[in-house]
Amino acid sequence: MTELRGVGIGQGVAQGPVVRMAEALPAPEKTPSAVGADAERTRAREAVAAVAAELQQRAETAGGSAQEVLEAQAMIAEDPTLQDEVDTRIDDGSTAEWAVHDAFAGFRATLEAVGGYLGERAADLDDIAQRVLARLRGVDAPGVPDPGHPFVLVARDLAPADTALLNLEQVLALITTDGGPTSHTAILAREKGIVAIVGAVEATTLANGTTVIVDAAAGTVTTDPSAAQLERAEARAAARAAAVDAPPSPGSLADGTAIALLANLGKPADAAEAVARGAEGVGLFRTEFLFLSASQAPTVAEQSATYRELLAAFGDKKVVVRMLDAGADKPLAFLNDAHEENPALGLRGLRSLRASEDILREQLTALAEADAATNADLWVMAPMVTTVEETKYFTDLAREYGLKTAGVMVEVPASALLADRVLAHADFASIGTNDLTQYTMAADRMLGSVAGFQDPWHPAVLRLVGEVGAAGARTGKPVGVCGEAAADPLLALVLVGLGATSLSMAPSALADVRLALSERTLDEARSLAEVALAADDAAGARNAVAEAAAALPSHQKETTS
């Protein structure tokens, strides 16, 4: 058994035999034909016809939108103009390989020049040309293989079309040697729920047929696993599948402690998906996402209609709306377009709203209107609140507009350290771990060069979360977490152990977090939090908590067996 590492996408686990994706074929040399034009023409015709037939067959099996794409490819392969171009080159003495390569490349350039729909088809020509070349050379065609049984696909990277067309009945998991967590492949894999590990550099050593366990949660690929490891992976996959398919229930720990699982949203149109995935409300509605490209502040009427649509989608559930969060990663020219040396430390969040109080007042007016017109339980909060005075300023103002639940985001160490005094004024706190990590670790969240510091598992960040959690418990006020950290199932447990009473995340993360919470009691979450706090760094905390969690008894098994 050996273990390879990469970046896991999602929380799934899968196992199966490796099938490698064939690499792109090198372009043929321009050499004269040794067999003569007639023979080359026949070779080319047969290869093209075989590829067209294969694409047509794949189209019929694929169905849906994939069928249309593949049928279009089959038609392009046999396009008579293209055929003439191939023949002309062969008549000039070329091999079938060179003629196909050169004719398809020329046709590609023509389509690209036309643009529009035809331009978009240009990339398909490369795929067809590669398939015809592979036929002519008698080698495997590049692209997603079809071995006729379920398999773990290993590739350097996938073209977007390959990922979109993946047959999820056949592809058990995906491992790529290239790409990172934000690569196109990773984004599509996340969207389609494919168990995937990207950037697994050593996966080049994986041979066809090797059995592997792909553990996206751990970011590992285990080759030649033992029977016991396969059994454990199988059990985990089954539990996860059951949890994802089960009708969503409210978030709760194994001992019954309720932890509300809420959605992070940027537009009302995303509400339906959140509701379908069992969101118990909205923990963070990022209002600035609605106006990122606007040069002028949105009107009260415009805002009111949008907020009404959002609130209506959630019935009588809780919806936490954040006031416009301008600055740094979320520029809003109408709130702050000044050049700042360090925009993350500048006039952003509540600071910029306060500098344009009319815009803040208009937003509160629109929210109060939407609140009056709907049944949802509207909570409002201000971003990047640093001081107790700012807390009092915002919550007093919100109440002036009749908004009954007013809180603050804790994203700056200063407000985390004084959380008890902040909570003396605010009705609730919501911890933004993305910014809290940025400000605790002094690492700009936009800068790749310091991305290594941007890890919410760092015990310094967790200690601050613990300060807010403890203050919430002392004052009896809710403390939510709405940064990306809440979407990591293991870290979610630690956050609960540190005192978080609700977690808000991208809707796609809800099922995995719900499952992780259901497996542990509050006492266990607290003990895992202690383990994390005792570590020296983020990696140490993550590994120690993973180890400690694995050693805990499984409540899931106790209740289901």
Binding site members for Mg(2+): 411, 435
- Show the tokens assigned to 118: 């035809």
Q: Note whether 527 and 497 are within 8 A (CB).
A: yes
Alpha carbon 430 to chain centroid, angstroms: 22
Site string for ligand PEP, 311-350 (x = CB under 6 A): --------------x-------------------------
Our finding on whether 240 is near ligand PEP (CB under 6 A) is: no
Instruction: Say which entry of Mg ion, ligand PEP, none residue 284 contacts (CB below 5 to 8 A, set by partner kind).
Output: ligand PEP
| Two structure tokens written together for 81 | 């103009």
Q: Is the dihedral of CA 83, 88, 89, 90 positive or negative?
A: positive
Catalytic residue among 101, 149, 184, 339: 184
- As given in the structure block, the two tokens for residue 412 are 């700056």
Euclidean distance between CA atoms 157 and 196, whole angstroms = 12
Annotated catalytic, 555? Answer: no
Cβ pair 419, 388 in contact under 8 A: no
> Which class for 337: exposed (0-12), middle (13-18), buried (19 or more C-beta within 10 A)?
exposed
Cα 397 to its chain centre, rounded Å, is 36
Q: Taking contact as CB under 6 A, which single stretch among the options 234-242, 353-361, 417-425, 433-441 is the one that binds ligand PEP?
A: 433-441
- 288: exposed, middle or buried (C-beta count within 10 Å: 0-12, 13-18, 19+)? buried
Residues 395-424 binding Mg ion (CB under 5 A) are 411
Name which of Mg ion, ligand PEP, none residue 332 binds, using a CB cut-off of 5 to 8 Å depending on partner kind: none
Query: Phi, psi (5° rounding) for residue 504?
Result: -125, 135
Among 40, 270, 390, 435, binds ligand PEP (CB under 6 A): 435
Q: Give whichever of 435 and 488 is closer to ligand PEP, judged by the CB atom.
A: 435
Residue 151: which of 208, 227, 192 has the closest Cα? 208
- Is residue 482 involved in binding ligand PEP (CB under 6 A)? yes
Based on the shown chain and the rule CB under 5 A, indicate whether residue 480 belongs to the binding site for Mg ion. no
Instruction: Point out the annotated binding site.
Output: 286, 322, 411, 434-435, 445
Q: Is 455 in the site for ligand PEP (CB under 6 A)?
A: no
Question: Quick check: is 482 catalytic?
Answer: yes
- Each residue 89-108 as x (binds ligand PEP by CB under 6 A) or -, in order, gives --------------------
The type of residue at 107 is F
443 binds ligand PEP (CB under 6 A): no
User: Which member of 390, 411, 444, 488 binds ligand PEP (CB under 6 A)?
Assistant: 411
Q: How near is the Cβ of 339 to ligand PEP at its closest, in Å? A: 21
Q: Is 216 exposed, middle or buried (0-12, 13-18, 19+ CB in 10 A)?
A: buried
- Tell me the site size for ligand PEP, rule CB under 6 A: 10
Residue pair 90/96 in contact by the 8 Å Cβ criterion: yes
DSSP notation for 62-97: H-HHHHHHHHHHHHHHT-HHHHHHHHHHHHTTB-HH
Query: Interface residues for ligand PEP in 255-294 (CB under 6 A)?
Result: 284, 286
Residue 98 or 428: the one with the smaller Cβ distance to Mg ion is 428
Can you say how many angstroms the Cα of residue 282 is from the centroid of all Cα atoms in its chain? Answer: 18
User: Is residue 467 part of the contact set for ligand PEP (CB under 6 A)?
Assistant: no
Q: Does 73 bind ligand PEP (CB under 6 A)?
A: no
User: Of the candidates 95, 183, 433, 440, which one interacts with ligand PEP according to CB under 6 A?
Assistant: 433
Could you tell me the smallest distance in angstroms from the CB atom of residue 157 to ligand PEP?
A: 28
Q: Give the 3-state secondary structure of residue 461.
A: helix
Helix (H, G, I), strand (E, B) or coil at 527: helix
Q: Which is nearer to ligand PEP, 195 or 490 (CB)?
A: 490
Give the angle 324-330-335 at the CA atoms, nearest 5°: 50
- The span from the CA of 74 to the CA of 203, in Å, is 33
Residue 429 interacts with ligand PEP (CB under 6 A): yes or no: no
Question: What's the min distance (Å) between Cβ of 17 and ligand PEP?
Answer: 40
Q: Is residue 145 within 8 Å of residue 19, measured between CB atoms?
A: yes
The residue within the footprint of Mg ion, chosen from 8, 143, 432, 499 (CB under 5 A), is 432
Q: Which is nearer to ligand PEP, 361 or 445 (CB)?
A: 445
Picking from 182, 146, 186, the residue whose alpha carbon sits closest to that of residue 166 is 146
433 binds, among ligand PEP, Mg ion, none (CB under 5 to 8 A by kind): ligand PEP
Tell the smallest beta-carbon distance from residue 484 to ligand PEP (Å).
7
Using the rule CB under 6 A, give the single segment among 57-65, 143-151, 222-230, 431-439 that binds ligand PEP. Answer: 431-439
Are 43 and 96 a contacting pair, CB within 8 Å?
A: yes
Q: Which of 124, 435, 484, 519 binds Mg ion (CB under 5 A)?
A: 435
Residue closer to Mg ion by CB (options 390, 411) is 411
> Rounded distance, CA 271 to CA 265, Å?
7
**Which residues of the shown chain bind ligand PEP in the complex (CB under 6 A)?**
284, 286, 325, 411, 432-435, 482-483
Q: Provide the binding-site residues for Mg ion, judged by CB under 5 A.
A: 411, 432, 435
Q: Which residues are catalytic?
A: 184, 482
